[in-house]
Amino acid sequence: MKREKPSKIVIASCCIMGAGQLLSKQWIKGLLYLFIFAAYVTYMVTSGMNDIKGFFTLGTVRGDAWLGIQGDDSIMMMLRGIFAFLLTAMFVALHISNVKDAKGLAKRLEVGKELPGFLQATQIFLDKKFYIVALLLPVIGVLIFNVLPIIFMILISFTNYGGDIVPPELVDWIGLGNFEKILSLTEIKDTFFRILSWNFVWAFLATAVNYFGGLGLALLLNKKCVKHKGFWRMFPILAYAVPGFITMLAFKFMFSYGGPINYYITMSGHSAIGFLDIDAGWTARIIGIAVNAWITIPTSMLLATGILSNMNTDLYEAASIDGASKWKQFIKITLPFVVFSTTPVLITNFIGNFNNFGVFYFLRGGLYNDGYFLASDTDLLINWLYNLSIDNNYYGIGAAISLIIFIITSVFSLLVYVRSDAYKKEDTYR
Amino acid sequence: MSKKIDSVVTHMILIAVCLVFVFPILWLVLASFSKSGSIYDIDGFFPSEFSFNSYHKLFVDTAMYDYPNWLQNTLYVAFFSSLIGTVLVILTAYTISRFTFKSRKMLMKSTLVLSMFPSFMGMTAVYLMMVNFGLINQLWSLILIYAAGAPMGYLVQKGYFDTISNTIYEAARIDGASNFTIFVKVTLPLAKPMLVYTALTQFAWPWSDFILPNLLLKNKDLWTVAVGLTHLGETEFTRFAAGAVFIAVPIVALYFALSRFLVVGVSQGAVKE
């Protein structure tokens, strides 16, 4: 039986996917590669090229129902363009694997080894490269539902999509236009900086309240005189277990005009207070912080309990022998230890609070204050983002704000990342 | 003497704190058993007359607010998201913990970067894409999104798999077991508690999520409980309370059954994040 020269196989596979495999009589594998190659080429010729072109122009024909002109749908064109790029990337990856495979075949032929049959090869692949098989579905899922949307949103932030410019109007690339708008257009700029400063104040206050609240509660439960710790711990856990949206809606009812708090206020002869009304200002903000504390203190309590139980108690004995007061022991021993071991969590909590959508959405969602562009004085950036992009279709500006949030969060996350022992030591026990 | 005062003060603070935590819940539970339906008819925190009226209405008077249907949708979404999501998370966590391969570090880093994007950013995009592809108003698109996003939170599970000693795998390998066999016959039985924990947390998330279904389900018969309950105003307050209690009870029971894992899960996730 005459065999082709090994080097020829590699070259053939480089030119046409699967050709080398066919030359070395790997029929099924070769045909599969060839089939994918043909499918990709057909796709590119029939629509792929146009889709990629459309990605850059975002449409040239404006639709007009009156004149019966079928216009270009810019957003669809962008999505199809992204799709074409992704397919191309996948094709390139597959092509590389095909060349590698051909190289492997060539090597085997050179030393005169028998080539494995298709079934056998598949079996070997499934076992040796189990991680590829196992991760295939999760990775595809994350790519489609997490990565693709993020890429799409990043691209949207560089277009003028939204407001009046939705199909059939044509969307255009405007570079950094949205970011310029946020930082210079008076109405939006004022709103942005007001919300940003409140957002930081909120994140600091909420994190501090939750952290020290949880720590305090854990210390209280850790006291020697407290018996039946499990019983006391049950109550915060109960609060923790109730779904967040129920808690937040219930608190909204509690502070509403007909709610129990206003009932007692009116009973005592005063007029009802609009705790969460449009002009409530700091009242609503403080209620927000309290509600958030109610929801998150149980989690930080659980965390602090876990950390306190890992603590070395010898230190306290030594300290009391030296005559240190309880307060001094707390400041000098407990606090440094707890703060040290929870720094990453503290920053994660800070980020979580910075992007806390639920509290103010449920308590006061949909209110727009004067002096704010489509937002209220309790709204955080993430709420504003929702108002802009979901309720009012300002997609471009909304996407730009998401990117700004991303930058802020990633700076803080980087702090965690650099400091976290868990990451640094990730490889030590491997 | 001072010890006694200390103990009394401690317990008083504890009682106050526990009251703060339990009172809103108690109020809601009591309201769900109130005879009248509107929040204005309840005298302060305590209803004047009790009955099962609200629960009865919740399941029978479905013309305006079809609670049984919401419940069915929620169950459907939560069950299948949990099923698919658990498989994906366990696969991801096991593979990343057990195998060292070229793109491993890169995968871990990219999930970290991805998690820094505000969750809303992706959701707005998913919404826009679903609208453009006409996939809005589908329960299964919700399931896909929940399940596909699940592997992003693989760290707790990975931490668990990291604790399983490599020698077990090596022994099985020497006995000639393939990687797939090892996963099914060795890993899964060892990871049973983690499987349970994962399945339940994956179930609890869609069960109590509001944002995504509110975004993607515009059709009234597709509402989940969370979406439906937000549409109940002050005059339907006890119906809200009853509906809330009914959906919260299984989740609360679940958390208590899981409280053993809870501390571990919270601290693990925290340290690894």
Chain A contacts of B145, Cβ < 8 Å? 145
Residue scoring higher pLDDT (A46 or A333): A46
- How far apart, in whole angstroms, are the C-alpha atoms of residue B28 and residue B268? 33
* Residue B260 confidence class, pLDDT cut points 50, 70, 90: low
- Show Cβ contacts of residue B244 under 8 Å, excluding neighbours closer than 6 positions: A246, A249, A250, B28, B32, B229
Q: How far apart are CA A339 and CA A351, in angstroms?
A: 17
Residues of B in contact with A148 (CB under 8 A): 125, 129
* Residues A327-364 pLDDT 10s: 888 888 888 877 777 777 788 888 889 989 889 999 88
pLDDT of residue B145: 92
Do residues A266 and A272 lie in contact, with contact meaning Cβ atoms separated by under 8 Å?
yes
Q: Mean pLDDT throughout B259-271?
A: 51
Nearest CA in chain A to B173: A127
Q: How far apart are CA A35 and CA A29, in angstroms?
A: 10
| Per-residue confidence band for A1, with pLDDT thresholds at 50, 70 and 90 | very low
Query: What's the pTM value of the predicted model, to 2 decimals?
Result: 0.83
Among the listed residues B21, B114, B10, the one whose alpha carbon sits nearest the alpha carbon of residue A141 = B114
CA distances from A131 to A115, A146, B35, B124, B184 (A): 24, 21, 59, 32, 14
B196/A contact by beta carbon, under 8 A: no
The reported pLDDT for the residue numbered B272 is 34
User: Is residue A392 pLDDT above 50, yes or no?
Assistant: yes
Quote the CA–CA distance of A270 and A241 in Å, as a whole number.
36
Q: What is the pLDDT of residues A171-199, one digit of tens each?
A: 889 989 889 988 888 888 999 999 999 99
Token pair in block for residue A322: 């030296």
SS3 category, A162: strand
pLDDT digits (tens, 9 = 90+) for B54-111: 898 889 888 888 999 999 999 999 999 999 999 999 999 999 988 888 888 888 888 8
Predicted confidence at residue A269, as pLDDT, reads 85
Token pair for residue B75? 């169950």
Cβ pair B85, B202 in contact under 8 A: yes
Residue scoring higher pLDDT (B47 or B147)? B147
Mean predicted confidence (pLDDT) in B176-185: 87
Tell whether domain B64-231 is in CATH 2.40.70.10.
Answer: no
Question: Is B215:B123 a contact under the CB 8 Å cutoff?
Answer: yes
State whether A256 and B18 contact (CB < 8 Å). Answer: no
Q: Is the ipTM of this complex over 0.90?
A: no
pLDDT of A130 higher than 80: yes
Statement: residue A429 has pLDDT above 50: no
Nearest to B22 among A127, A221, A238 (CB): A238
pLDDT score of B262: 55
**Any idea where the domains of chain A sit in the sequence?**
6-175, 180-424
Whether A344 sits inside 8 A of B270 (CB atoms) is yes
* Predicted pLDDT of residue B3: 81
The torsion angles phi and psi of A106, rounded to 5 degrees, stand at: -60, -45
Average pLDDT of chain A is 85
| pLDDT over 70, % of chain B | 94
Q: Which of residues 360-399 of A touch B (CB under 8 A)?
A: 362, 382, 385-386, 389-390, 395, 398-399
pLDDT digit string, tens, across residues B144-174: 999 998 998 888 888 888 888 788 888 888 8
Out of A75, A137, A149, name the one closest to residue B122 (CB): A149
Q: Has residue B119 got a pLDDT over 80?
A: no
Structural tokens at position A157: 């932030």
For A180-424, which CATH superfamily applies?
A: MetI-like (1.10.3720.10)
The 10 Å Cβ neighbour count of residue A267 is 10
Mean pLDDT of A381-385: 91
Burial grade of A275 (CB within 10 A; 0-12, 13-18, 19 or more) = buried
Which pLDDT score, from 0 to 100, does residue A291 have? 94
Q: Residues A96, A102, A107, CA angle at the centre, nearest 5°?
A: 130
Q: Do B44 and A260 touch (CB under 8 A)?
A: yes
CB nearest to A135's CB, from B3, B92, B126:
B92
Which residue is listed with tokens 């999104």?
Answer: B145
pLDDT over 80 (residue A427):
no
Q: Please choose, from the candidates A423, A412, A287, the residue with its C-alpha nearest in 3D space to the C-alpha of residue A350.
A: A412
Best mutation target among B1, B8, B13, B21 (most A Cβ atoms within 10 Å) is B21
User: CA-to-CA distance for A191 and A385, rounded, in angstroms?
Assistant: 12
pLDDT at B261: 64
**pLDDT for A93-129, tens place per residue?**
999 988 988 888 888 888 877 777 788 888 888 888 8
**Which amino acid belongs to residue A348?**
T
Calculate how close chain B gets to A296, using CA atoms only, in Å.
11
- Cβ neighbours of B183 in A, within 8 Å: 130, 134
On chain A, the residues whose CB falls within 8 A of the CB of B211 are 357-358
Q: What are phi and psi of B46, to 5 degrees?
A: -115, 125
Task: Using pLDDT thresholds of 50, 70 and 90, give the confidence band for residue B271.
Answer: very low
Element (H, E) at A398: helix A395-419
The pair of structure tokens assigned to A28 is 């099924």
Distance of CA A255 to the CA centre of its chain: 32
Q: How many CB atoms sit inside 10 A of residue A205's CB?
A: 17
CA dihedral defined by A333, A338, A339, A342, rounded to 10 degrees? 160
Radius of gyration of chain A from its Cα atoms, rounded to whole angstroms: 31
Res. B263: pLDDT tops 60: no
Nearest-CA distance from A49 to chain B in Å?
A: 21
The residues that bridge with A173 in the sheet, in sequence order, are: A159
Q: Grade residue B270 by pLDDT with cuts at 50, 70 and 90.
A: very low
